[in-house]
Amino acid sequence: MLISQDKINEAVATIVGYGGHGILNCVQCGACSAICPGVRAGFPLLCRNLIRHLLNGELEEIIEDSSSWGCQACCRCTEVCPRGVGPQEIVFAFRRYQANQLAFSTSSVTSQMNLYETGHAVYVNPTEARKKVGLPEQTPTSAFNDRAKEEIQTLINNSPMGELGLF
């Protein structure tokens, strides 16, 4: 492949802009990938390999790859990295780049809608289950609190998430 400095600069600036500040510290030692459960499970573009692609200037070329969404954010990588790269922060910066280009699975839209409407990313009507175990049917959380829901919606509406046309 042809490597272009402009593309490298663009990829690095994008990742840094989305929170992956340590990307240029990476020396491709692979400690992160050695300990990553996502790599172990078979996701191709996480940790060292994702960083390699980014440092080669690839962004749009890999935008459709779903590996970053398989990241558990467990931060084993960030813990072991001897260079302060913060590989998890880079995986998430790449994920933010994807998300802001709407390159994510439709199943993920449900959690965004749930968060917006109830304040809970995972929402199921809890009343029966709660009654069964002797708890009040309503949770003391945002799900049953109008003011709380309004606050969450305000924070989301005022954020870049509000501009994606999801809500």
Partner 1 sequence: MEKIGLYLGCNIPLKAPDIEQSFRKVFPALGIEPVDLEGASCCPAWGTAPSFDLNTWCAISCRNITIAEAQGVDIMTGCNSCFGLLSEAKHYMEEPERRKTVNGLLKAIDREFKGASDIYHVAHVLHRKVGVQKIREKLKYSLDGLKIAYQTGCHALWPTKVYKVTEDNPYQPTILRELCEATGATVPHYSRLEGCCGMGGMRSTDAEKSLKLFREKLVSIKEETDADIIVTTCSSCFLQFDMSQPILKERGLIDFEPIPTFYYTQLLALAMGFDPGQVAAISQIDRGPIIGEIQSEKRLIKEVA
User: 3 or 109: whose CB is closer to partner 1?
Assistant: 109
Applying CB under 8 A, the span of 2-10, 24-32, 48-56, 138-146 interacting with partner 1 comes to 138-146
Q: Pick from 18, 22, 49, 50 the residue near partner 1 by CB under 8 A.
A: 18
Q: Is residue 25 part of the contact set for partner 1 (CB under 8 A)?
A: no
Q: State in angstroms the smallest separation of the CB of 104 from partner 1.
A: 8
Nearer to partner 1, 19 or 30 (CB): 19
Q: What is the DSSP letter of 143?
A: G
Least distance from C-beta 13 to partner 1, angstroms? 16
Count, residues near partner 1 per rule CB under 8 A = 63
Distance CA 156, CA 14 (A): 22
Residue 28 or 108: the one with the smaller Cβ distance to partner 1 is: 108
Whether the Cβ atoms of residue 81 and residue 34 lie closer than 8 Å to each other? no
Q: Is 165 in the site for partner 1 (CB under 8 A)?
A: no
CA distance 104 to 70: 11
CA distances from residue 101 to 17, 86, 155, 160 in whole angstroms, order as listed: 14, 23, 20, 11
Is 81:33 a contact under the CB 8 Å cutoff?
A: no
DSSP code at position 4: -
Please give the C-alpha separations between residue 89 and each of 46, 71, 76, 148, 158, in angstroms, as whole numbers: 11, 11, 12, 29, 23
> What stretches of 56-125 show up as alpha helix (H) in DSSP?
67-70, 76-80, 87-100, 107-118
Interface with partner 1 in residues 43-82 (CB under 8 A):
43, 66, 69-76, 78-79
Which residues in this chain contact partner 1 in the complex, by CB under 8 A? 18-19, 37-38, 40-43, 66, 69-76, 78-79, 88, 92, 95-96, 99-100, 104-105, 107-108, 111-112, 115, 119-124, 126, 129-130, 132-135, 139-143, 145, 147-148, 151-152, 154-156, 158-161, 164
